[in-house]
Amino acid sequence: MVKKNIILYLFILFFSFQSFSQGEIDDEKKIFFRNEKTWGFFIFSNGWGGNYRKGRRINASRKFIWEADINYIRHPKEIKLTVDPYAATRFVYGKLNVPVEFRGSFGFQKRLFRKIDKSGVEVLFVYSGGPTIVLLKPIYYEVAYSDGLHVEKFDASKSQSVYGRAPFYKGMDEIKIDPGVFLKATFSFEFSKKDNKIKALEVGAVASAFLNELEIMASQNSQFLFNIFVSYRFGQIIRGGHMEGVEMIE
């Protein structure tokens, strides 16, 4: 709920700022851009991640895009605990695996509203989809017994007195893969004042389905994920195409 409110506040503040900055006339020559590349960093309703996007112009208002994402998935039931703030590491009680998602997709970008001045905003709609895989690295804990601390996985079938989290590298040789597919829809608000640079705030949603339940926690896992997100995107034009009456840039 807190993350959803943050996304809403960022959205309102962005457009409040833009509404006061309109009016600077765009006297630059218009250019028909064909290709571009951008990077994005985003937070979504159950995690955070990064993204690379490459776009190729189809016509004056549409682009074909390729994307690659890497995300950390956070289970909504995660609560970090500390048994001894001076000695033990923080941990999430009942967490089985650290999930890292890799996505590859292709899709289209369509311009909905064109920027009319330098301080204006161009509104785009982006939709894409493709395969996804989640790497699940087991988590080991330091568990207190009468004879000292033992390093082991969480076991819901028995009572464990967890003292802290074991080193991250423990379990690296036990990584599992869960494949799936996803669809993503995004509204992009591009506000760069330069024609060869890209700066944008994006909001959107992603729906994913996996072959198996994602074993993140000891309970309440699912094969399906739905997220809303906000992203800051930046990048540049890497090649210009030609249309009659406009200048070409390479």
Instruction: Say yes or no to pLDDT of 245 above 50.
Output: no
Instruction: Say yes or no to pLDDT of 171 above 90.
Output: yes
pLDDT given at position 249: 40
Largest CA distance in the chain: 82
Q: pTM of the full predicted structure?
A: 0.80
Does domain 2-240 match CATH 2.40.160.20? yes
Mean pLDDT computed over every residue of the chain = 84
Residue extents of the structural domains in the chain: 2-240
pLDDT given at position 239: 67
Please report which confidence band the pLDDT of residue 196 belongs to, taking 50, 70 and 90 as the band edges.
Answer: confident
Give pLDDT tens digits for 94-138. 999 999 999 999 999 999 998 877 778 999 999 999 999 999 999
Beta-sheet strands, E only, within the chain: 33-44, 47-57, 62-73, 80-81, 91-92, 97-113, 122-138, 140-145, 148-153, 162-165, 176-190, 197-210, 224-240
